[in-house]
């Protein structure tokens, strides 16, 4: 029981320090930081606090750009502190603006 308690503490620290959610922290704890899955999780984190300061139209364009670069809607949502559904709607709006509709 004690080891499970420590594992929870380690995951909490990793989540806070690395900006991970609970599932990501647990996977990195289980597999270790050098595992390919762990590296993929850390690589796909968007760490740019200036994103939230962008105006709505600029956010839409940036969300579309990040999505086209291969970031998941969940990763983009975390970076902008919104729901994945919001990301979907804003990407769609950005595409409509580009197409002139």
The two tokens of residue 21 are: 């959610």
First to last CA, the chain: 59
Which carries the bigger pLDDT value, residue 89 or residue 69?
89
Is-above-0.85 flag for pTM? no
C-alpha–C-alpha distance, residues 81 and 90, integer Å? 13
Query: Of 79, 82, 57, which Cα lies nearest the Cα of 69?
Result: 79
Q: Is the pLDDT reported for residue 38 higher than 90?
A: no
Q: Is the pLDDT reported for residue 49 higher than 80?
A: no
Give a three-class secondary structure readout of 3-45. HHHHHHHHHHHHHHHHCCCHHHHHHHHHHCCCCHHHHHHHHCC
The percent of residues in the chain predicted with pLDDT above 90, rounded, is 17
Query: Of 59, 89, 72, 58, which Cα lies nearest the Cα of 21?
Result: 72
């Amino acid at each position: 029981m004690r080891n499970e308690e420590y594992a929870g503490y380690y995951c909490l620290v990793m989540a806070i320090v690395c900006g991970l959610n609970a599932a990501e922290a647990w996977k990195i704890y289980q597999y270790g930081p050098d595992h390919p899955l762990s590296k993929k999780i850390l690589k796909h984190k968007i760490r740019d606090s200036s994103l939230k300061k962008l105006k709505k139209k600029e956010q839409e364009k940036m969300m579309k750009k990040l999505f086209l670069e291969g970031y998941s809607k969940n990763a983009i949502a975390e970076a902008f502190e919104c729901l994945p559904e919001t990301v979907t709607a804003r990407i769609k709006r950005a595409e409509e603006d580009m197409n002139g509709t």
